[in-house]
Amino acid sequence: MAKAFASQSDMTEKTISFTEVGNGIYAFTAEGDPNSGVIISDDSVMIIETQATPRLAQKVIDCVRSVTDKPISHLVLTHYHAVRVLGASAFGAEQIIMGDAARAMVIERGQEDWDSEFQRFPRLFEGHESIPGLTYPTTTFSDDMTVYLGNRRIDLMHLGRAHTAGDIVIHVPDQNVMFTGDIVEYRSACYCGDGYFSSWGDTLDNIASFDVDAIAPGRGDALIGKAMVEAAIESTREFVDSTYRPAARVAARNGSLKDAWAAVRAECDPKFSNYAIYEHCLPFNVAHLDRPVRSRHVGGIASMSHHQTYLAMAQNNAWANHTLF
């Protein structure tokens, strides 16, 4: 008999915080729900991440209007997952920017991801009927791109694969502030269902090399001060490693997916069970390791689609006879 998925039963409204992390730079956070960011220049506003629906996006717009009446000209999407991007139409921006690899994910499985996340996150899809369709960028880039928002320089960069193949970060040099998307989380589980375990740590190192003064992470509180930034980077690294290491040991002895599930829980529960969306992420993270490790490509899209994974992991006996890797 299928169990209710963890995030399906989470219908509690979250408290919104709108925190200034640099001069004219804000983090919109909500107790572990997907974050958004705001960068204000002398003539316009850039939004980082657009929420799951236009109705939820309006909450970001309301916060923006509490500090400026300048027009919203640019949207930047750090990667493609439906809960991050489908609210884009609410902002009325002329420019929508994402990396080439993220756009490829929209083309390849945009609707599938939307359908899956709609079932898994009913609260986050409040007002879903207002979504006009998939969100496509007007501009993409491969490695890096600089946008001048009025007189303010904003650097967009692909620093490596981590949460997805198409992750980008946004750096504002004049304040030394970075938006990392879901590469870095704070007291929130990392969703690794599209992740690259083998390169996530290197990407975190690349972020750390900027020695930023503040980070607006993908989920969790704004990170202000170098100590808090470093702590969040290292806790993210520990979460990813603690997921991969026990599963790799199970794979080395040709264990089952059920064995991997037990091993990952034994490692992660004592450290991370109080993190936001932990119970939601865990089945996807373990199932994503169900692929040929001998190819040394630990990452990419798992052998099951998101929706198939969701169905399988919700079954009591889904793990029993499935060999890991």
Q: What's the CATH number where 133 sits?
A: 3.60.15.10
Is there a contact between 28 and 38 (Cβ–Cβ < 8 Å)? yes
Given a cut of 80, whether residue 310 has pLDDT beyond it is no
**Residue 181 lies in domain:** 6-239
Residue with tokens 């929508």: 96
Residue with tokens 């898994």: 120
Given a cut of 60, whether residue 293 has pLDDT beyond it is no
- pLDDT of res. 317: 39
Given a cut of 70, whether residue 301 has pLDDT beyond it is no
Residue 306 resides in a domain: no
- pLDDT of res. 1: 40
The Cα diameter of the chain in Å comes to: 60
Give 18's strand partners.
Answer: 28
Q: How many helices (H) and strands (E) does the chain have?
A: 8, 13
Residue 190 resides in a domain: yes
Residue 244 resides in a domain: no
Residue 266 resides in a domain: no
- pLDDT of res. 32: 85
Residue with tokens 């993270």: 285
For the stretch 8-57, pLDDT in tens is: 555 577 799 999 999 999 999 998 899 999 999 999 999 999 999 999 99
**How many domains are there within the chain?**
1
Residue 296 resides in a domain: no
Q: How far is CA 320 from CA 62, 178, 261, in A?
A: 49, 43, 11
Residue 87 resides in a domain: yes
Three-class SS state of 22: strand
Residue 246 resides in a domain: no
Euclidean distance between CA atoms 296 and 198, whole angstroms: 9
Residue 225 resides in a domain: yes
